[in-house]
Amino acid sequence: MLLLRSLRAALALVVLCPALSRAEAPAPVPDKVSYARDVLPLFQQHCMGCHQPAKAGGSYIMTSREELLKKGDSDEPGVVPGKPDASHVVAQISGKDGKPPAMPKNKPSLTAHEVALISKWIAQGAVDDTPASARVRIDADHPPVYTLPPVLTAVRFSPDGSLSAVSGYHEVLLFKPDGSALVARLIGLSERVQSIAFSPDGKSLAVAGGSPGRFGEIQIWDVAKRRLKLSITATGDTLYGANWSPDGTKIAFGCADNTLRAIEASSGKQVLFQGAHNDWVLDTAFSREALKERKKVVVKPDSGQTALEVGDVTRERVYDELLIGGSDGTPRLYKMHREKKRIIGDDANKVREYEPMPGRLWAVAFSPDGERFAAGSSADGKGEARVYQAGTGQRVCTFEGQKGGVYAVAFRPDGKVVASAGFDGVVRLNDAQTGKLLKEFVGVPVAPPGSSSAKK
C-alpha cells in the first residue's frame, strides 16, 4: 500500500494519461463475437456508469440484454438484433458527418476496433452468451440476498454520527449508528465494495470497488436522497481506498495498476494521475492543506518493501502524520512532509513505532482529535483490534469479543466508540477507552437458506 498521502505529491505530477491501453494494436475482430468476452467488458468500462438502473442517462439501461433492446428517451431501440444500422447504440458510438461520436458522453471515443466488435455482435443476433450462473441481476429491484454473512471490508460513521455505513456484496448498507435498524441499501454496479468514505459535510458518500478483473468503479451517492449521483469507471480491476479532500471537492483512490488517482467530486473529471508506485495502491490520504502544496513525500518503512505489499493502510491525522500498517503487524507513524534533507534509504520521516499486533494489520483509523488510533489485524483466521495512544505509544485497550480477522475499523465522531468488522460479517461496537463490547450486529440482512427471500 502506499501511502498516498499526497495529493501534494500528486498534483505535482498531474500528468494526463488517458487510457493508455487504447493505443495498443487490437487483435482482429473474431469470426464469432462473444458478448461475455468482447462486448460486456466494453459496456462495463465505458457505458454502464451512466446507463444502469440506479442512474439511467437518456432513460437507457445497459446492464442486461433485455434492457439493451429497449428504447430510451429518443424512442429508438438501443439494440436491434441482426441490424446494427438500426441500433441507436451503434449510431451513438460512431461519429457521423465528421462529428465525434456522442457516446461515451464526455469521454474518449471507443476505438474503431471496439465499435466493430459491438456492431458485429449486434449483426450476429446480439446474443447474451454469459453463463446463466453469472447472469445474476442485482439492482434496487433485485437486492442481493445473503444466506451467510459476507466478509466485510469497510465500515464508517457519518460525520454527524447519525448513520453507520457497511460494505456488502454489490451494495453499501446504511444502518442506525448502533445497528438497531437498516435504513437504506445503496445498490450499485460493483460486486465488491472495498472502501466507503463520507464527504466532510456528510451529504455524499464515496464508494470504491469494482468487479475483479473487469472494471473498477467510484460511486458517489447523495446520502439524504439515497441516490447515485455519479459512477466513474476506471481501470480493469477493483479500486481501493477512496478518501475526500478536506474541502470536499476531490476524491482520491488507489488502483491495482499501481496508480493513484483523484477526481473532482462534482463532475468525476480526473485531476490527478500518479504512477510512481510499484505495487497496488490500497489506500490514500489527503494532508490538511493537500491542495496548496506540491511536494512529494516518500515514506519507506524500515522493515522493507514486503510490509508495504499487501493490506497496508494509511490515514491522515490532524497533525499531517500518517499511520501505516502491513504484513508485519507493526503500526508506524510517519510525518507526511519531509523536514530533513533526504538521504537515499533513510527513514527520517518516521515518528514512532507501536507494539506489534498479532498477524497482519489490515486497518487503522485515528480518533477525530488525532490523539488515539484503532487498529485491526488478523492472525491465522483470528482477529484482534486495539486502541493506542498516538503520542505516547501506550496501548489503551484491546477489544473484547473479536472473532474473525478484522479488516475495517472506524471511530464514532464523538471518539467514544469504535466500530470494527471483517471476516465473520459482524460489526462490533466497542468502548474506545475500556475495549468493552457494547453491541454487535450482522452487517447485512441474512436470509436463512430455504426461506422465501433466499430462494428468489
Residue 261 binding ligand HEC, by CB under 6 A: no
**Rounded (5°) CA angle 415-337-328:** 65
Can you tell me the distance from the alpha carbon of 351 to that of 327, in angstroms, rounded to the nearest whole number?
19
Q: Which residue of 46, 214, 261, 315 would you call a contact of ligand HEC, by CB under 6 A?
A: 46
Can you tell me the distance from the alpha carbon of 359 to that of 386, in angstroms, rounded to the nearest whole number?
13
Residue 73 binding ligand HEC, by CB under 6 A: yes
Residue 313 binding ligand HEC, by CB under 6 A: no
Q: Of 93 and 126, which has the nearer Cβ to ligand HEC?
A: 93
Can you tell me the distance from the alpha carbon of 43 to that of 31, in angstroms, rounded to the nearest whole number?
20
What is the sign of the dihedral through the CA atoms of 354, 358, 362 and 363?
Answer: negative
Integer distance in angstroms from the first to the last C-alpha of the chain?
39
Q: Of 2 and 89, which has the nearer Cβ to ligand HEC?
A: 89
Place of cell 456492431: 119
Can you tell me the distance from the alpha carbon of 239 to that of 248, in angstroms, rounded to the nearest whole number?
20
Q: Which residue of 74, 147, 180, 266 would you call a contact of ligand HEC, by CB under 6 A?
A: 74
Residue 75 CB, nearest approach to ligand HEC (Å): 7
Q: Which residue of 5, 8, 88, 317 would you call a contact of ligand HEC, by CB under 6 A?
A: 88
Q: Of 105 and 135, which has the nearer Cβ to ligand HEC?
A: 105
Residues whose CB is less than 8 angstroms from the CB of residue 160 and which lie 6 or more positions away in sequence, other chains included? 202, 413
* Contact present, 256 and 212 (Cβ < 8 Å): no
Q: Which residue of 49, 84, 236, 329 would you call a contact of ligand HEC, by CB under 6 A?
A: 49
Residue 352 binding ligand HEC, by CB under 6 A: no
Residue 135 binding ligand HEC, by CB under 6 A: no
Residue 78 binding ligand HEC, by CB under 6 A: yes
What is the sign of the dihedral through the CA atoms of 163, 152, 132 and 86?
Answer: positive
| Amino acid at site 102 | A
Residue 188 binding ligand HEC, by CB under 6 A: no
* Contact present, 124 and 80 (Cβ < 8 Å): no
Can you tell me the distance from the alpha carbon of 4 to that of 277, in angstroms, rounded to the nearest whole number?
9
Q: Which stretch binds ligand HEC (CB under 6 A): 49-57, 149-157, 174-182, 332-340?
A: 49-57
Can you tell me the distance from the alpha carbon of 207 to that of 194, in angstroms, rounded to the nearest whole number?
8
Pick out residues in 110-129 that bind ligand HEC (CB under 6 A).
110
Q: How many residues bind ligand HEC (CB under 6 A)?
A: 25
Residue 216 CB, nearest approach to ligand HEC (Å): 14
Residue 230 CB, nearest approach to ligand HEC (Å): 8
Residue 39 binding ligand HEC, by CB under 6 A: no
Residue 72 binding ligand HEC, by CB under 6 A: yes
Residues that bind ligand HEC (CB under 6 A): 46-47, 49-51, 57-58, 60, 71-74, 76, 78, 88-89, 92-93, 102-107, 110
